[in-house]
């Protein structure tokens, strides 16, 4: 086919047309009155009526005409992140405006030949056609023929209705003449081709304008139409419904042939072009019904509309969302989103699969009691880029036809998922706690006037109290009581303030003043999208980016009218962020989110679960360094679900994250890790005190290595875990009395709870799980206290030693029932002591010749009476045979500090090879002195000293050969108290008791036991 171009008007021809138009206008009224009187009616009254119509008609200005002919719905489009088309926006009219040079010349010629072959020669009204129409109507006796030009049709489509009446025809002619004076022929033709109606497409949409028609019927732009396609499109406006290409194709083809004939007769095409066009198979090339964007992505498309309207209001282009929303649908905008097509397909396929959800149920409305039948378990999913907040995919719900609620943007109660944001992260940032900080999970009761009982008495999801618990374990198993205690210390205002900084916009004043907010008891709740964005902050080193979907919006001409600007907001330090990530890693590896950890193996993925009362809502928020996702599960009208459904959110999370990661292995490599920042340190701590682990903590299995922000790590040793002897009577532990038989005494590890607790109503069912680990306070009830055991031996000392022998001496006992002594030895201070001789000693000395100069020995003495009752053991002395003990610590001093009483001294010479100093305390100068602690440093603070008490202290040094003699005794002078004169000790070799040696050891056992995945509940929904 030959290339054709639209006709162009010469400057001279345009001048002629303007002149003709003026002349025609001056005589038009007379002609019109004459034509109407002759052709349609009779009588002078009609003449006056027509004249009145013309004289009273408003005259639109040139600017008004331009605005009106270009007005009308313009279809808009939405695009994926890669700029491929998601689909067309909803519109009352499917119209796409193009310029004349973007339209196929065949189509222009087809319209000229069919609708108005004298278009470029008349001034808006074709006089010849008008006379012909008058003649035909006179002959018929009624209106059977019109004489509308393209200009008249444009005037009618722009300003008038399609009602056949004299009034409308008069106005149409008048406006056509006015339009020809205001616009060029090219402008009129362009407006006409963009405005004319073509009927419905394969999907039933109303099509306006040649560009929309070309795309709707043949899937191509109007500039690419061939002759056959152009002819059939040009024939449709005469009867859009009668010539519908999908219902009345034969009629449409018949009309096409008439159009081609007009084009041939008027020399727009050649005979060969005519014949070739007739051979073209229209039916084979028609666009078939397709799944439209609103059918394929209903939740996404509606969300795009809403967000685009919000964006235009926020940018100040519109005052309200209604006006902005109308503009989005009617003005031909192009909306560019952050949605990744492959990720969106993955999310849609997973949430549309009923096998991934609980079967539909019937239940009663919780308020009205109305039966709700065949209810869907709903879902909301948000997937986003943690570095920018760009939403990569969204799942608004399972079936748009059943529920149009976008579950990513409606509020629901978050359950325990809020704990990370409102409690633990802010507390770490404020250095109130670290992962190893101990929180006592015991009954927690606070006044609550709004409660029926007048009290707020929350419980954990498992209805148990777990006692002394690290913050890490509390978050790992999502315990409520530790979270509430920390939230109270932090204050709800501070905690919820951080939640708001993380982009949660639904916080109320009530949320800021109630403890229940810490465990998800909020007035309005939160959205999946905002929660996902909040958790993504921890994947982005503590910097928050508000989630967004709209990248930019352009108008119909491609001008940018909105463009999203990132606004990164630092909320937490990198150190806080890293510690939170490490704690959430524990959640998915061995806590409530264990299903996630088991799915992804060694990949660095972290997250937090959340469920509400009776599992009405199930949440999981998780992320890697490169991608974040959030999932909500529940019913539109909340109703309890089986507890097993608490893990449904992790199931959906796993499916979504797994498929996305496998689809994009290079974007989300398994090797990606959360990088540790500066100023993170580690300490080996007791899991019962949070302080440095002692040997007792290690031996009991209550120790672990944990991380701290530098400066917050503990410097004191555990004073909660103790090793002690006990006796069991009827299943209950007691402290042995001095006369409990030795064979009944056992040794175990206990805790000394720092702060006592009260049981509500004194009910033992509220006892914490570690209650049986508390150091007994009651004495063995089975042995009478009036049966006195032998007096405790004292003064055991080492008088001489050599590489092959050790000589020990002690003062004689004054006990009248004394039978003798038993000298015991051990290879460690905390080890098992056994006798070093046979029988009972009756002398007050003993030479131990079964020794080696490579071992340090520990000795103690017991007295035994004539009833074979043993005394408690004496002080312990130690020696490495043949090696001299260390020298006495010198220059001891004592001062009062804010934390207690501090004792300082000079360090021994390095020759002594001291591994620790031991501190002893007494309540009087004469004793008895008790071992209270040890340190490798030359300074020790007694934090357990009472403020008003009076104490005496001394220090010894210890190396492999044993313990030195004690330093001089110290006491602190208190106001109004005269201390006794301080004298240096006489240098006796009484080494005192070894007590707790305070060694750290190298490794301990983490007392966290991996459990199967659980759900947690909050007492306030």
Give yes or no for residue 1000 having a pLDDT over 90.
no
Please name which of 477, 501, 474 lies closest in space to residue 487, comparing C-alpha atoms.
474
Q: What is the dihedral of CA 265, 267, 272, 273, to 10 degrees?
A: -100
Span 956-972, pLDDT tens digits: 998 877 788 889 999 98
How confident is the model at residue 44, as a pLDDT? 43
**pLDDT class of 289 with cuts at 50, 70, 90:** confident
- The number of C-alpha atoms within 13 Å of 992 and in the hemisphere containing its C-beta is 29
Q: How far apart are CA 403 and CA 393, in angstroms?
A: 19
Q: How far apart are CA 725 and CA 731, in angstroms?
A: 15
Give yes or no for residue 1021 having a pLDDT over 60.
no
In this structure, the chain runs to a length of 1021
Give yes or no for residue 1 having a pLDDT over 80.
no
Q: How far apart are CA 109 and CA 117, in angstroms?
A: 9
**pLDDT class of 987 with cuts at 50, 70, 90:** very low
How confident is the model at residue 329, as a pLDDT? 84
How confident is the model at residue 1001, as a pLDDT? 35
Span 448-476, average pLDDT = 95
Span 163-207, pLDDT tens digits: 566 676 777 888 888 888 888 999 889 988 988 888 888 777 778
User: What's the angle, vertex CA 432, arms to CA 429 and CA 438, rounded to 5?
Assistant: 125
Q: What is the dihedral of CA 632, 638, 640, 641, to 10 degrees?
A: -40
Q: How far apart are CA 233 and CA 131, in angstroms?
A: 29
Span 404-447, pLDDT tens digits: 999 999 999 999 999 999 999 999 999 999 999 999 999 999 99
SS3 327: helix
Peptide bond into 463 cis (omega under 30): no
Q: How far apart are CA 438 and CA 425, in angstroms?
A: 16
Mark out the alpha helices in 689-738 (DSSP H runs): 695-700
Strand order through the sheet with 797-802: 797-802, 805-809, 845-848
Q: How far apart are CA 22 and CA 43, in angstroms?
A: 29
Q: How far apart are CA 940 and CA 1021, in angstroms?
A: 49
**Residue 202 burial (C-beta neighbours within 10 Å; 0-12, 13-18, 19+):** middle
How confident is the model at residue 872, as a pLDDT? 87
Q: How far is CA 19 from CA 179, 587, 770, 797, 933, in A?
A: 15, 86, 106, 135, 115
Span 320-338, average pLDDT = 89
- The number of C-alpha atoms within 13 Å of 411 and in the hemisphere containing its C-beta is 14
Residue 694 and residue 686 in contact, taking contact as beta carbons nearer than 8 Å: yes
Q: Which residues contact 288 (CB under 8 A, 6 or more apart)?
A: 202
What's the helix, strand, coil split of the chain in %, to 5?
35, 20, 45
Average pLDDT, the chain: 86
Q: How far apart are CA 882 and CA 609, in angstroms?
A: 63
Give yes or no for residue 30 having a pLDDT over 70.
no
The region of weakest confidence among 57-61, 65-69, 206-210, 746-750 is: 57-61
**Residue with token string 């999801």:** 461
Give yes or no for residue 129 having a pLDDT over 90.
no
Please name which of 299, 246, 242 lies closest in space to residue 78, comparing C-alpha atoms.
299
Q: Residue 140 corresponds to which tokens in the numbers above?
A: 């018929």
**What's the whole-model pTM score?**
0.67
Q: How far apart are CA 213 and CA 198, in angstroms?
A: 7
Span 762-776, pLDDT tens digits: 999 999 999 999 999
Residue 39 and residue 144 in contact, taking contact as beta carbons nearer than 8 Å: no
Q: What percent of the chain has pLDDT over 90?
A: 62
Q: Which residue has the higher pLDDT, 383 or 15?
A: 383
How confident is the model at residue 889, as a pLDDT? 94
Residue 605 and residue 657 in contact, taking contact as beta carbons nearer than 8 Å: yes
Q: Residue 538 corresponds to which tokens in the numbers above?
A: 């921890």
Q: How far apart are CA 789 and CA 22, in angstroms?
A: 136
Please name which of 113, 139, 90, 83 lies closest in space to residue 234, comparing C-alpha atoms.
113
Ramachandran sector of residue 674 (left: φ over 0; alpha: ψ -120 to 50; beta: rest) = beta
Please name which of 713, 419, 689, 390 lies closest in space to residue 575, comparing C-alpha atoms.
713
The region of weakest confidence among 248-262, 646-660, 715-729, 947-961 is: 947-961
Long-range contacts from 57-66, C-beta under 8 angstroms, 24+ separation:
57/170, 57/171, 57/174, 59/178, 60/159, 60/175, 60/178, 60/182, 61/182, 62/181, 62/182, 62/183, 65/178, 65/179, 65/182, 65/183, 66/182, 66/183, 66/187
**Which segments within 45-195 are labelled E, that is strand?**
77-79, 85-88, 94-95
The region of weakest confidence among 389-393, 712-716, 776-780 is: 776-780
How confident is the model at residue 258, as a pLDDT? 94
Three-class secondary structure assignment of 555-594: CCCCCEEEECCCCCEECCCHHHHHHHHHHHHHHHHHCCCH
Q: How far apart are CA 691 and CA 710, in angstroms?
A: 15
**pLDDT class of 33 with cuts at 50, 70, 90:** very low
How confident is the model at residue 614, as a pLDDT? 93
Q: Which residue has the higher pLDDT, 522 or 181?
A: 522
Q: How far apart are CA 741 and CA 725, in angstroms?
A: 12
Span 838-878, pLDDT tens digits: 999 999 999 999 999 888 899 999 999 888 888 889 888 88
Give bridge partners of residue 734 from the DSSP assignment.
Answer: 727
Q: Residue 725 corresponds to which tokens in the numbers above?
A: 């002897």
Please name which of 248, 13, 254 lies closest in space to residue 119, comparing C-alpha atoms.
13
SS3 456: strand
Span 528-549, average pLDDT = 98
Q: Which residue has the higher pLDDT, 498 or 961?
A: 498
Residue 255 and residue 106 in contact, taking contact as beta carbons nearer than 8 Å: no
Span 204-243, pLDDT tens digits: 777 888 998 999 899 999 999 999 999 999 999 989 889 9
């Amino acid at each position: 086919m030959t290339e054709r171009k639209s006709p162009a008007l010469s400057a001279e021809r345009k001048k002629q047309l303007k002149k003709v138009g003026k002349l025609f206008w001056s005589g038009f009224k007379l002609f019109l009155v004459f034509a109407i009187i002759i052709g349609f009616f009779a009588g002078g009254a009609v003449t006056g009526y027509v004249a009145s119509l013309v004289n009273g008609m408003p005259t639109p200005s040139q600017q008004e005409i331009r605005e009106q002919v270009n007005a009308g719905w313009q279809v808009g489009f939405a695009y994926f992140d890669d700029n491929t088309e998601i689909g067309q926006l909803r519109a009352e009219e499917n119209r796409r405006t193009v310029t004349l040079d973007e339209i196929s010349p065949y189509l222009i010629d087809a319209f000229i030949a069919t609708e108005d072959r004298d278009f470029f020669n008349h001034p808006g009204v074709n006089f010849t056609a008008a006379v012909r129409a008058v003649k035909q109507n006179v002959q018929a006796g009624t209106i059977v023929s019109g004489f509308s030009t393209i200009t008249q049709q444009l005037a009618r489509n722009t300003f008038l209705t399609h009602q056949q009446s004299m009034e409308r025809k008069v106005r149409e002619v008048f406006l056509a003449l006015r339009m020809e004076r205001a616009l060029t022929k090219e402008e009129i033709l362009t407006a006409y081709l963009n405005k004319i109606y073509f009927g419905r497409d394969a999907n039933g949409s109303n099509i306006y304008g040649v560009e929309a028609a070309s795309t709707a019927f043949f899937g191509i732009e109007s500039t690419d139409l061939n002759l056959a396609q152009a002819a059939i499109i040009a024939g449709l406006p005469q009867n859009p419904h009668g010539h519908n290409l999908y219902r009345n194709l034969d009629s449409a083809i018949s009309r096409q042939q008439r159009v081609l004939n007009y084009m041939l007769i008027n020399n727009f095409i050649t005979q060969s072009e005519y014949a070739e066009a007739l051979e073209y198979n229209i039916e084979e090339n028609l666009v078939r019904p397709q799944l439209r964007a609103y059918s394929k992505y209903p939740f996404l498309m509606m969300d795009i509309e809403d967000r685009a309207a919000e964006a235009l209001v926020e940018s100040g282009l519109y005052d309200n969302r209604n006006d902005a929303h109308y503009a989005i649908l009617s003005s031909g905008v192009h909306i560019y989103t952050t949605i990744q097509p492959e990720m969106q397909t993955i999310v849609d396929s997973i949430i549309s699969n009923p096998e991934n959800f609980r079967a539909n149920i019937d239940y009663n409305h919780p308020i009205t009691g109305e039966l709700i039948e065949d209810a869907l378990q709903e879902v909301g999913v948000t997937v986003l880029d943690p570095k920018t907040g760009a939403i990569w995919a969204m799942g608004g719900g399972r079936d748009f036809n059943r529920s149009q609620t976008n579950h990513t943007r409606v509020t629901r109660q978050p359950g325990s998922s809020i704990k990370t944001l409102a409690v633990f992260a802010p507390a770490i940032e404020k250095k109130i706690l670290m992962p190893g900080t101990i929180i006592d999970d015991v009954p927690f009761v606070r006044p609550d006037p709004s409660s029926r009982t007048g009290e707020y008495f929350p419980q954990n999801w498992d209805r148990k109290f777990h006692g002394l618990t690290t913050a890490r374990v509390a978050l790992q198993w999502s315990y409520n009581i530790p979270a509430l205690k920390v939230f109270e210390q932090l204050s709800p205002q501070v905690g919820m303030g951080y939640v708001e900084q993380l982009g949660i916009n639904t916080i109320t004043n009530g949320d800021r003043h109630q403890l229940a907010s810490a465990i998800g008891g909020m007035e309005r709740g939160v959205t999946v999208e905002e929660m996902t964005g909040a958790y993504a902050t921890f994947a982005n080193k503590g910097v928050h980016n508000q989630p967004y979907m709209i990248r930019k919006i352009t108008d119909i001409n491609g001008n940018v009218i909105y463009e999203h600007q990132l606004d990164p907001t630092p909320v937490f330090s990198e150190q806080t962020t890293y510690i939170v990530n490490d704690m959430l890693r524990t959640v998915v590896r061995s806590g409530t989110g264990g299903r996630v950890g088991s799915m992804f193996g060694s990949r660095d993925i972290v997250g937090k679960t959340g469920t509400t009362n009776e599992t009405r809502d199930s949440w999981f928020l998780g992320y890697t360094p490169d991608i974040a996702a959030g999932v909500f599960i529940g019913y539109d009208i909340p109703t309890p679900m089986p507890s097993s459904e608490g893990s449904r959110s992790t199931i959906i999370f796993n499916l979504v994250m797994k498929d996305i990661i496998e689809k994009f292995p290079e974007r989300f490599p398994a090797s990606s890790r959360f990088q540790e920042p500066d100023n993170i340190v580690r300490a080996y701590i007791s899991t019962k005190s949070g302080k440095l682990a002692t040997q007792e903590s290690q031996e009991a299995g209550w120790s672990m290595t944990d991380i701290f922000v530098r400066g917050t790590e503990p410097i004191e040793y555990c004073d909660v875990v103790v090793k002690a002897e006990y006796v069991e009577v009827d299943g209950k532990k007691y402290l042995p009395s001095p006369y409990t038989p030795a064979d009944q005494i056992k040794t175990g590890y206990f805790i000394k709870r720092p702060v006592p607790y009260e049981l509500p109503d004194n009910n033992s069912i509220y006892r914490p799980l570690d209650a049986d680990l508390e150091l007994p306070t009651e004495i063995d009830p089975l042995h009478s206290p009036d049966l006195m055991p032998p007096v405790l031996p004292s003064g055991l000392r080492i008088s001489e030693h050599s590489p092959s022998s050790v000589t020990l001496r002690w003062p004689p006992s004054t006990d009248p029932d004394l039978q003798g002594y038993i000298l015991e030895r051990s290879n460690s201070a905390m080890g098992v002591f056994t006798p070093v001789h046979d029988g009972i000693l009756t002398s007050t000395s003993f030479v131990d010749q079964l020794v080696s100069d490579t071992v340090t020995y520990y000795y103690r003495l017991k007295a035994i009476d004539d009833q074979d009752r043993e005394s408690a053991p004496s002080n312990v002395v130690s020696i490495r045979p043949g090696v001299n003990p260390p020298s006495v610590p010198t220059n001891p001093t004592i001062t009062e500090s804010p934390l207690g009483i501090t004792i300082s001294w000079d360090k021994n010479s390095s020759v002594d090879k001291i591994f620790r100093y031991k501190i002893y305390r007494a309540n009087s100068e004469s004793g008895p002195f008790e071992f209270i602690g040890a340190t490798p440093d030359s300074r020790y603070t007694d934090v357990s000293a009472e403020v008003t008490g009076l104490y005496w202290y001394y220090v010894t040094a210890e190396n492999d050969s044993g313990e030195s003699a004690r330093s001089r005794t110290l006491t602190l002078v208190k106001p109004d108290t005269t201390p006794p004169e301080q004298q240096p000790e006489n240098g006796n070799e009484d080494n005192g008791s070894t007590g707790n040696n305070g060694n750290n050891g190298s490794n301990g056992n983490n007392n966290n036991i991996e459990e199967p995945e659980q759900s947690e509940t909050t007492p306030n929904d």
